[in-house]
Amino acid sequence: MKVKLNIDPNQKETELLINASALTPEIEQLYHALQKQTPNLEQIEAVKDNVSYYLNLSDILFFETDSKIVMAHTAKNAYQVKYKLYELEDILGGNFMRVAKSTILNLDKIYAITRSISNCQIKFEESYKTVYISRHYYRDLRNRLEERRNF
Protein backbone atom coordinates (compact mmCIF):
# COMPACT_ATOMS: atom_id res chain seq x y z
CA MET A 1 0.00 0.00 0.00
CA LYS A 2 1.35 3.43 -0.95
CA VAL A 3 0.72 6.47 1.21
CA LYS A 4 1.06 9.99 -0.19
CA LEU A 5 0.80 13.38 1.50
CA ASN A 6 0.16 16.50 -0.58
CA ILE A 7 0.31 19.90 1.14
CA ASP A 8 -1.41 22.63 -0.86
CA PRO A 9 -1.91 26.10 0.72
CA ASN A 10 -4.74 26.77 -1.75
CA GLN A 11 -6.73 23.74 -0.59
CA LYS A 12 -9.90 24.97 1.15
CA GLU A 13 -10.80 21.77 2.95
CA THR A 14 -8.83 18.70 3.94
CA GLU A 15 -9.79 15.80 1.72
CA LEU A 16 -8.75 12.17 2.04
CA LEU A 17 -9.10 10.02 -1.05
CA ILE A 18 -8.64 6.25 -1.11
CA ASN A 19 -7.80 4.78 -4.53
CA ALA A 20 -8.08 1.00 -4.68
CA SER A 21 -8.61 -1.66 -7.33
CA ALA A 22 -11.18 -3.45 -5.17
CA LEU A 23 -13.03 -3.05 -1.89
CA THR A 24 -11.07 -5.28 0.46
CA PRO A 25 -11.77 -5.72 4.19
CA GLU A 26 -8.62 -3.69 4.90
CA ILE A 27 -9.85 -0.76 2.74
CA GLU A 28 -13.33 -0.94 4.25
CA GLN A 29 -11.89 -0.90 7.78
CA LEU A 30 -9.71 2.10 6.91
CA TYR A 31 -12.67 3.94 5.41
CA HIS A 32 -14.85 3.39 8.49
CA ALA A 33 -12.03 4.43 10.83
CA LEU A 34 -11.61 7.69 8.91
CA GLN A 35 -15.38 8.32 8.93
CA LYS A 36 -15.41 8.05 12.73
CA GLN A 37 -12.72 10.74 12.97
CA THR A 38 -14.94 13.41 11.45
CA PRO A 39 -16.64 15.52 14.12
CA ASN A 40 -20.37 15.00 14.15
CA LEU A 41 -22.94 17.06 15.98
CA GLU A 42 -26.00 15.24 17.17
CA GLN A 43 -28.20 18.28 17.81
CA ILE A 44 -28.42 21.85 16.67
CA GLU A 45 -30.12 24.79 18.34
CA ALA A 46 -32.94 26.33 16.32
CA VAL A 47 -35.54 29.01 17.02
CA LYS A 48 -39.23 29.22 16.14
CA ASP A 49 -41.64 31.80 17.57
CA ASN A 50 -39.05 33.00 20.13
CA VAL A 51 -38.67 29.47 21.52
CA SER A 52 -35.34 27.61 21.29
CA TYR A 53 -35.50 24.00 20.18
CA TYR A 54 -32.71 21.43 20.12
CA LEU A 55 -33.24 19.45 16.96
CA ASN A 56 -31.64 16.10 16.26
CA LEU A 57 -29.72 16.29 13.00
CA SER A 58 -31.33 13.00 11.99
CA ASP A 59 -34.72 14.79 11.96
CA ILE A 60 -33.58 17.58 9.64
CA LEU A 61 -34.41 17.17 5.95
CA PHE A 62 -32.43 20.15 4.70
CA PHE A 63 -31.06 23.60 5.49
CA GLU A 64 -32.04 26.48 3.25
CA THR A 65 -31.21 30.16 3.15
CA ASP A 66 -33.54 32.95 2.15
CA SER A 67 -32.74 36.64 2.62
CA LYS A 68 -29.65 35.84 4.75
CA ILE A 69 -31.72 33.75 7.16
CA VAL A 70 -30.86 30.05 7.39
CA MET A 71 -33.74 27.70 8.07
CA ALA A 72 -33.62 24.06 9.20
CA HIS A 73 -36.53 22.10 7.75
CA THR A 74 -37.99 19.03 9.40
CA ALA A 75 -40.86 16.99 7.95
CA LYS A 76 -43.49 19.38 9.34
CA ASN A 77 -41.78 22.58 10.53
CA ALA A 78 -39.08 25.10 9.70
CA TYR A 79 -36.76 26.64 12.30
CA GLN A 80 -34.25 29.46 12.12
CA VAL A 81 -30.62 28.59 12.93
CA LYS A 82 -27.80 30.96 13.84
CA TYR A 83 -25.24 29.48 11.44
CA LYS A 84 -24.45 30.45 7.86
CA LEU A 85 -24.53 27.69 5.24
CA TYR A 86 -20.75 27.63 4.87
CA GLU A 87 -20.44 27.18 8.65
CA LEU A 88 -22.93 24.32 8.55
CA GLU A 89 -20.90 22.64 5.81
CA ASP A 90 -17.91 22.62 8.15
CA ILE A 91 -19.68 21.33 11.26
CA LEU A 92 -22.14 18.83 9.80
CA GLY A 93 -21.13 15.23 9.24
CA GLY A 94 -20.90 13.25 6.04
CA ASN A 95 -24.67 12.77 5.90
CA PHE A 96 -25.14 16.35 4.68
CA MET A 97 -24.19 17.81 1.31
CA ARG A 98 -24.64 21.11 -0.47
CA VAL A 99 -26.92 20.60 -3.48
CA ALA A 100 -27.51 24.23 -4.45
CA LYS A 101 -26.08 27.62 -3.61
CA SER A 102 -28.78 28.04 -0.97
CA THR A 103 -29.37 24.44 0.18
CA ILE A 104 -27.66 21.72 2.22
CA LEU A 105 -29.40 18.35 2.12
CA ASN A 106 -29.53 15.42 4.55
CA LEU A 107 -28.60 12.45 2.34
CA ASP A 108 -30.27 9.99 4.73
CA LYS A 109 -33.67 11.60 4.15
CA ILE A 110 -33.83 11.34 0.34
CA TYR A 111 -36.87 9.38 -0.76
CA ALA A 112 -36.94 10.09 -4.49
CA ILE A 113 -35.05 12.05 -7.13
CA THR A 114 -36.97 13.31 -10.14
CA ARG A 115 -34.90 14.53 -13.03
CA SER A 116 -36.32 16.46 -15.96
CA ILE A 117 -34.87 18.62 -18.71
CA SER A 118 -35.31 21.82 -16.73
CA ASN A 119 -34.52 20.71 -13.16
CA CYS A 120 -33.86 17.95 -10.65
CA GLN A 121 -36.07 17.60 -7.59
CA ILE A 122 -35.63 15.72 -4.28
CA LYS A 123 -38.64 14.38 -2.42
CA PHE A 124 -38.76 13.29 1.21
CA GLU A 125 -40.77 10.48 2.75
CA GLU A 126 -43.77 11.56 4.83
CA SER A 127 -43.30 15.22 3.94
CA TYR A 128 -44.73 17.55 1.33
CA LYS A 129 -41.43 19.47 1.14
CA THR A 130 -39.18 19.28 -1.90
CA VAL A 131 -35.73 20.61 -2.80
CA TYR A 132 -34.36 21.52 -6.20
CA ILE A 133 -30.81 20.51 -7.05
CA SER A 134 -28.55 22.73 -9.08
CA ARG A 135 -27.16 21.07 -12.23
CA HIS A 136 -23.72 21.99 -10.94
CA TYR A 137 -24.14 19.71 -7.90
CA TYR A 138 -26.12 16.86 -9.49
CA ARG A 139 -23.14 14.69 -10.50
CA ASP A 140 -21.54 15.08 -7.05
CA LEU A 141 -24.82 14.06 -5.43
CA ARG A 142 -25.13 10.96 -7.61
CA ASN A 143 -21.51 10.02 -6.78
CA ARG A 144 -22.07 10.45 -3.03
CA LEU A 145 -25.23 8.34 -3.14
CA GLU A 146 -23.39 5.64 -5.09
CA GLU A 147 -20.52 5.65 -2.55
CA ARG A 148 -22.98 5.30 0.32
CA ARG A 149 -24.68 2.40 -1.42
CA ASN A 150 -21.35 0.58 -1.80
CA PHE A 151 -20.44 0.88 1.88
- Report DSSP state, residue 107: G
How many alpha carbons fall within 13 Å on the CB side of residue 26?
6
Residue 76 lies in a domain: yes
Across 121-129, average pLDDT: 90
- Supply the range of the domain harboring residue 134: 43-150
Across 15-25, average pLDDT: 83
Read off the pLDDT of residues 32-46 as tens digits, 9 standing for 90 and up.
Answer: 777 665 555 688 999
**CB-based contacts of 139: which residues, under 8 Å, 6+ apart?**
none
What pTM, to 2 d.p., does this model score?
0.70
Residue 3 lies in a domain: no
Residue 57 lies in a domain: yes
Q: How many domains does the chain have?
A: 1
Residue 56 lies in a domain: yes
Read off the pLDDT of residues 43-90 as tens digits, 9 standing for 90 and up.
Answer: 899 999 999 999 998 899 999 998 889 999 999 999 999 999 988 988
CATH label of the domain that carries residue 142 = 2.40.50.1020
Residue 19 lies in a domain: no
Residue 17 lies in a domain: no
